[in-house]
Amino acid sequence: MTEENIRIMEQIYGVSMILIRGLFFGMFAELFINKETLSRPKNIVLSVIITIEGIVLFSIPYSTKGLYSIISLLTIVAVFYFYNQKILPHIIFVFFLWQNVFYVWHLINFAIFNSISDYVTATIDYSREGAVENLWNWMFILMALQVIFFAIFLFLEYFVTGKICTVKYEMSWTEALYLSIYSAVSYIICYIIVEVMVVPLDKEVFVLLDEKRDLRFTIPILAVLIFIGEMSAIATWQRYRRLKEEELRLQEQLQEQEFIRKKIEYTEKYHDRIRTLRHDMAGKLMILKSFLEKDRIGDAKEFLGDMDIELSSEAMQYATNNPVTDAVINEAAAQACSMNCDFKSEFLFPDDNGISALDMGIILNNLIDNALDGVLTVAEDDRFIRLIGEQKDNFYLIKIENSFDGKLKRASDNSIISTKKMDSDADKHGLGLKSVMGIADKYLGAVDINSDNKVFKVKVMLQKKNCYCSVPDQ
């Protein structure tokens, strides 16, 4: 082994480290981002671009210290700003995590292999022939061991992170900031330590670990603590998201129970009206029979006309072919009437569409509740609600439009929430559209929400269950 071979080995060593880092960037990204959002081919392309940038910077015969981090970060931000801004928080956090795990390794590696290098150089007898070549051989072995150690260490960090990050949750900018700040601070601390480990002076080189030998134990411990802190932050975030989802599911269950309670009350009231009507009908039939027996045909016709008006007023205004949706829509029509709101429905719910009537009832209940809240913000003459439900091939499409004052209230995640007057109701009602979205996801559907010229519009598309029952759960 000659000095020239060692220089070539140093180049291979540097390129190998960049290749391993590029590979693990893609692997860490897969831990936090769904394949549906960032497919594996696109993830590989991104990793390759970052790797190429690193190799190009490494090949430049000038100092490019710190440039790789800056350029790779700018590349990631630019790519996802135009590709999918929704996952920008994820990918920026992944970038800082990726940098952090590298510097954690670098601190541990420097402390370990500095000690090994000192031992090796101390054991070589430089008075013997071939001592220099023996030194080059040891340098080759140590560089190879560092590459292997780097790959194994990053895999262990990846494995531990994967065990903690068991679910790929959505990430808001606030959550990304919380997680990335810890990574960024840890990265800066590690970077500063690395910078002061070896400092060229006028006539010599200052090596921190030679002057402060106890740091060979302290620095690896610090690196491990930094990694543990990072993993603790991720675990805390995962637990927070899990509790948030559990709270949302609980609210949905309460909402479902409230929906069922309201429909039972409505059905009981309707049946009470029917029983009262049947009771009154006996007496009215006796009167009608009396008119007919006395040949008072004119009075009988007038009496029948009055009965027809009364029966019409007690009948359901809308028939949807399903008792659950009948109850929801007719109750909504009655509420709209009491609010002087023009309510029109063209909703039919066939039995063979593979969609649960309870799920459909919850969707309608939430959408109509939102619409009834919205119309209260405008004058009575401008109040209207339009509801349409129709079958289209293998999909069922629900459309609802309502007038409102044009002011939209948004949550921290940019989702639209209700403008309820009572704060307590607003918090609860904010789950309405999320509940609709959850049911739409259940049926492999989608929800489209927009507003135009003070008209709030929501479209919900559901796929018939028998059309996707063969698709495995994701």
Output the domain CATH number for residue 356: 3.30.565.10
Structural domain of residue 423, as residue ranges? 319-467
More confidently predicted of 317 and 25: 25
Strands (E), 148-230: 198-200, 205-207
Q: Which of 249, 277, 292 is the last residue of a domain?
A: 249
Q: Which of 206, 233, 249 is the last residue of a domain?
A: 249
Same domain? For 239 and 377 the reply is no
Give the largest Cα separation in the chain, rounded.
142
Residues 223-245: what's their mean pLDDT?
88
Same domain? For 243 and 341 the reply is no
Strands (E), 294-377: 342-347
CB 41 within 8 A of CB 67: no
Residues 242-265: what's their mean pLDDT?
76
Model pLDDT for residues 197-214, shown as the tens digit of each residue: 777 777 777 777 777 778
**pLDDT surpasses 50 at 136:** yes
Q: Name the phi and psi angles at 101, rounded to 5.
A: -65, -30
CA atoms 330, 331, 337, 342: torsion sign: negative
What does the mean pLDDT of the chain come to?
81
- The number of C-alpha atoms within 13 Å of 288 and in the hemisphere containing its C-beta is 13
Same domain? For 11 and 139 the reply is yes
Q: Which of 249, 277, 297 is the last residue of a domain?
A: 249
- Residue bearing tokens 């994967």: 162
Model pLDDT for residues 410-450, shown as the tens digit of each residue: 655 555 655 554 444 444 445 677 778 888 888 888 898 88
Please state, in angstroms and rounded to a whole number, the distance separating the CA atoms of residues 191 and 54. 17
CB 152 within 8 A of CB 62: no
DSSP H helices in 352-400: 357-375
**pLDDT surpasses 50 at 50:** yes
More confidently predicted of 249 and 240: 240
Q: What is the pLDDT of residue 418?
A: 55
Q: Name the phi and psi angles at 38, rounded to 5.
A: -130, 100
DSSP label at residue 353: S
**Neighbour count for residue 99 (Cβ, 10 Å):** 23
Is 342 within the bounds of a domain? yes
Same domain? For 79 and 192 the reply is yes
Is 309 within the bounds of a domain? no
Is 234 within the bounds of a domain? yes
Q: Name the phi and psi angles at 36, rounded to 5.
A: -70, -30
Residues 63-68: what's their mean pLDDT?
81
Q: What percent of the chain has pLDDT over 90?
A: 21
Same domain? For 210 and 337 the reply is no
Please state, in angstroms and rounded to a whole number, the distance separating the CA atoms of residues 316 and 345. 13
Q: Can you read off the two tokens belonging to residue 159? A: 């494995």
Model pLDDT for residues 176-196, shown as the tens digit of each residue: 888 888 777 777 877 787 777
**Structural domains counted in the chain:** 2
pTM: 0.64
**pLDDT surpasses 60 at 48:** yes
